[in-house]
Amino acid sequence: MRRASSIPMAILLCLSSVTDAHATSNPGFRIGAEADPIPFFEHGFSLHLEAKPFARMRLTLGAFGLETSTSSGNNGGFTEEERAAELSAQYCALPWSGGGLFVGGYVFFQRWRYSRSDSADRAAAYWLTPAPAVGFQWLPWKKGPYLLPWAALGLPIRRGDHQVGAHVYDEPGIFPVVALHIGYELEP
């Protein structure tokens, strides 16, 4: 009789430990802020807000930009200035701690300005770029600082001009993005 009553108690203990583990591995609503330091070295910026409204769901809103000059190739002599906003939604396919491996999609709204030192003319182009993405949020603790390497491959839908004087800027057919964000996450 004693053995029969201990079995339901063992089942209850197992269920409560699984429930506690599930609750700590799936935190509630969270917010965060992150930056990619690489564009700052290219006269640019990259700042983003993060929200995790549900377990395994990550949403971001951000702004970034940079300015680069090309010295050789098809676009030699051009200076490109990009200003952009991004929206993203990601699903954490393999959760780990408060982060994990995610897949998702980005949409970039980009404004490009092309110029050359040998011409007073400028050109402006506007892109709407949907992009599938994959990344990993390494959040060593349940909240706090994190690293977020990710990559996306966009297919731009373009409007605008890319000719400056007699030169035409050769816009790429795809828009690859590789980034390493550094962020901080907290529970409000």
φ/ψ bin of 81: left (φ > 0), alpha (ψ from -120 to 50), beta (otherwise) = beta
Phi, psi of 141 (to 5 degrees): -115, 175
**From CA 129, how far away is CA 106, in angstroms rounded?**
8
13, with CB counted inside 10 A (0-12, 13-18, 19+), is: exposed
- Domains, the chain, ordered by start: 26-186 (2.40.160.20)
Query: What six digits make up the tokens of 132?
Result: 């599938």
23-37 tens-digit pLDDT: 345 567 999 999 999
Model-level pTM? 0.79
Spell out the alpha helix ranges (H) of the chain: 2-25
C-alpha to C-alpha distances, 180 to 78, 137, 146, 157, nearest whole angstrom: 27, 10, 10, 25
What 8-state DSSP symbol labels residue 138? B
pLDDT, position 173: 92
133-164 tens-digit pLDDT: 999 999 888 889 999 999 999 999 999 999 99
Low-confidence ranges of the chain (pLDDT < 70): 1-27
What residue has token string 């269920």? 15
Query: What six digits make up the tokens of 152?
Result: 């996306």
